[in-house]
Structure 1
Amino acid sequence: MIQRGDTLPDCTFQLLTNEGMKNPTTDELFAGKKVVLFAVPGAFTPTCSEEHLPGYVTLADKLKAKGVDSIICLAVNDAFVMTAWGKTHNAEELIMLADGDGTFTKAIGLDMDTGSFGGVRSQRYAMLVDDGRVTQLNVEPPKTFEVSKAEAMLALL
């Protein structure tokens, strides 16, 4: 599993924008920037939709006021689902990033297999990344939601 001090692996993601489908790389998203990256097990799922994503939408301005350049919400879902989920929750200030086949999630060791429920998904976590290097990593134990909340990340800044 990735640890504090580690550099994020080189990966390519999917991002649906107003200009169409883009495939940003780790370097394009994180190089020279301070980024809060939080991951959820799945878009449109209860805790993710009712608490996790809305917390970051609500606190986006406060996080950015503390020097965060971008806030990325990641899930092992496709870019169309991530975009629709972001629109549903007015997440215009966030980057709704798709890790469609879980390449990034597996590379950092934060994947989990939910079996027939959804297959490979991401564990719930939040990290602070400075110029591609993990400076803080908060991974939730199963069935909890405390350390990856927007409020918890804001308190670290």
Structure 2
Amino acid sequence: MTIQIGDRIPEVVLKYIDDGVQAVDTPTLFEGRRMVLFAVPGAFTPTCSERHLPGFVEHFDEFSQRGVHVACIAVNDPFVMQAWGESQHVPKGLRMLSDGNADLTRALGLEMDASGYGMGVRSKRFALYAEDGIVKQLFVEAPGEFRVSSAEHMLAHLPD
């Protein structure tokens, strides 16, 4: 079942690179924070690299000024996420998180089958806003679309 507004973010462990491979569990990531988590089907893929991640890079300071942390996840390994972040000039503080086994993606009920493209199980394109681990806003894109999970759309729908 797909996560709904009012639900708690499921407890899973994600990976990232910071002086080696590190792990962070979702309670630690979300606890006591206002957080936007956005997901892309794959690092280095066209829409993700040309529009989705760049929008959050461009507007990162606006999220920060509003006290909102930002994290990106993809069903890619942490080394790919690090390399993608570096290639996109991701600012310090915008977390590039690996959901390599799709544990969070599946727990959220937001997985898709991209095996027709040789990509296996991937995340649907989405963005959510949570306060202290409780989902307050959730925007899931229709297949092939990029509108409601953009940085601009998220900024327009954040509570003050």
Q: 1:142 — aligned with what?
A: 143
For these two proteins, the number of residue pairs brought into alignment is: 155
| Aligned CA-pair RMSD | 0.8
Partners of 2:6 and 2:32 in 1: how far apart?
16
TM-score (norm 2): 0.95
What are the equivalent positions in structure 2 for 1:111-130 lying under 5 Å apart?
Answer: 111-116=111-116, 117-130=118-131
Q: 1:85 — aligned with what?
A: 84
Q: 2:59 — aligned with what?
A: 59
Partner of 1:10, secondary structure, is coil
Q: Which runs of 5+ in 1 are unaligned?
A: none
Percent identity, aligned pairs only, is: 50
Q: Which runs of 4+ in 1 moved over 2 A?
A: none
Partner of 1:55, secondary structure, is helix
Partner of 1:24, secondary structure, is strand
- Give the drift of 1:73: 0.4
- Give the drift of 1:92: 2.4
List per-residue Cα deviations over 1:110-153 (Å, max 9, x = no partner): 00011142000000000001100100000000010000000000
Partners of 2:131 and 2:20 in 1: how far apart?
28
Partners of 1:78 and 1:55 in 2: how far apart?
22
Matched to 2:129, the amino acid is: L
Q: Which runs of 5+ in 2 are unaligned?
A: none
TM-score (norm 1): 0.97
Partners of 2:34 and 2:25 in 1: how far apart?
16
Partners of 1:72 and 1:40 in 2: how far apart?
11
Q: 1:132 — aligned with what?
A: 133
Q: 2:4 — aligned with what?
A: 3
Q: 1:35 — aligned with what?
A: 35
Q: 1:12 — aligned with what?
A: 13
Matched to 2:144, the amino acid is: K
Partners of 1:66 and 1:125 in 2: how far apart?
21
Partners of 1:153 and 1:124 in 2: how far apart?
13
Partners of 2:132 and 2:88 in 1: how far apart?
28
